[in-house]
Amino acid sequence: MSRIAACWIVSLLFAALVLAKFSPATGFTGLIRFGESWQERRHPSLQNLPIATASESNGYDGQFYAQIALDPFLRSPALAQVLDSPAYRARRILTPGTAAILGLGNPWWTLQAYALLNVLCWFALGWLLFRHIGGADWPAFARWVGCMFSIGVLDSVRQSLVDLPAVLLLVLAVTAFTQIRTSPRTTLWLALGNLTKETSLLGALALSCDPSRRPFPWKRAALSLAAAALPLALWSLYVEQRFAGTTGGTGLGNFTWPLLGLLKQARNCLREVSLGNLDGRYSFCLVAILGLLTQAWVLWRNPQPASPWWRIGFAYSILLLFLSSWVWSGYWAACRAVLPMTIAFNLLLPANRLFWPLWILGNLTLLHGVWRFL
């Protein structure tokens, strides 16, 4: 079987997983994961709509971004009541804003558009990475699968989050950068990525710091980086103005001292597993820690500063060390936080006799990601 045929088959399997989430009554809202606990506090325009709701659950983050899509200019006072962390969620405006445009002002269409945006991003990312990886052998196919079926990617689709759209924009930025290093398109993709998820700034910084350029164009790089960050800065000021006086997290609680969160979570998981609690939150978290540390080790062990993807992967491997126990409490959130590192690992894994053992170790959560989607 050729690599092209294998990729087509796997893509059809992914499409089948998505279609299985469709309901004639609620459409694709099952992908957003609205929680019963928040049902009474939903946006007024959703109160009479048939929305798939997880019973006895708080739901997940996608339910908040979906409601921002109903009012992307943040004008409704109701938003401060229906969002768990209004300013924090509203900073990530690009995905909700895109859904608002596609929904044409209709709340039901907007929800469906928001639920399917990650699906569209999955296929777009798959095409870009297929072209980037090249080759027709099985290691090339494995690299592609390791990216596309990583738990960070699949969970972003499964719960309609912003992580996959942010990674897609980063891939577009890298593609533009490798073609013309000072291309305005690179700055544009980075700016859009920052408006999707603010940690994309880390990828923008890593991409701009190219040590292979002699002499290094400090002024041009600084201007490009500032231009990429400016839209997020201006939007953040607007968000703070709209939600002045509201309570909620800022996102700073997602970080702590190096390795403190990882070690705390590892100890907690070991304790639970030793007591016979084999829930995936604990057992697979240990697997995820091993996998992510393998990814980081491979990147550290094989430095390629001239490679844009190595610099990005290295930057996010440092971020991995600072993730708090709050992020690690659901290990899939940690996997999403460093998703660019996972992409870099699969793209840059050396094609030698250790390829398959390291690929397996680095992608240990792949099967659990598929299982969670079922």
Supply the range of the domain harboring residue 168. 3-373
Confidence of residue 253 (pLDDT cuts 50, 70, 90): confident
Q: What is the tens place of the pLDDT at every residue in 326-342?
A: 999 999 999 999 999 99
The pLDDT of residue 153: 98
What is the predicted pLDDT for the residue at 211? 80
Mind listing the pLDDT tens digit for each residue in 90-128? Answer: 999 999 999 999 999 999 999 999 999 999 999 999 999
Q: Identify which has the larger pLDDT, 97 or 278.
A: 97
Q: What is the pLDDT of residue 136?
A: 83
pTM comes to: 0.96
Question: What's the confidence (pLDDT) of residue 180?
Answer: 74
User: Residue 213 — pLDDT band, cuts 50, 70, 90?
Assistant: confident
Q: What is the pLDDT of residue 249?
A: 62
Which pLDDT belongs to residue 221? 82
Average pLDDT, integer, range 24-48:
94
pLDDT at residue 9 greater than cutoff 90: yes
What string of H, E and C letters represents the secondary structure of the chain?
CCHHHHHHHHHHHHHHHHHCCCECCCECHHHCCEEHHHHHHCCHHHCCCCCCEECCCCCCCHHHHHHHCCCCCCCCCCHHHHCCCHHHHHCCCHHHHHHHHHHCCCHHHHHHHHHHHHHHHHHHHHHHHHHHHCCCCHHHHHHHHHHHCCHHHHHHHHCCCCHHHHHHHHHHHHHHHHHCCCCHHHHHHHHHHHHHCCCHHHHHHHHHCCCCCCCCCHHHHHHHHHHHHHHHHHHHHHHHHHCCCCCCCCCHHHECCCCHHHHHHHHHHHHHHHCCCCCHHHHHHHHHHHHHHHHHHHHHHCCCCCCHHHHHHHHHHHHHHHECHHHHCCHHHHHHHCHHHHHHHHHHCCCCCCHHHHHHHHCCCHHHHHHHHC
pLDDT of 181 > 90? The answer is: no
* pLDDT for the residue numbered 93: 98
Average pLDDT across the chain, whole number = 94
pLDDT reported for residue 248: 62
pLDDT at 209: 86
**223-249 average pLDDT score:** 89
Our count of domains for the chain comes to 1
Q: What percent of the chain has pLDDT over 70?
A: 98
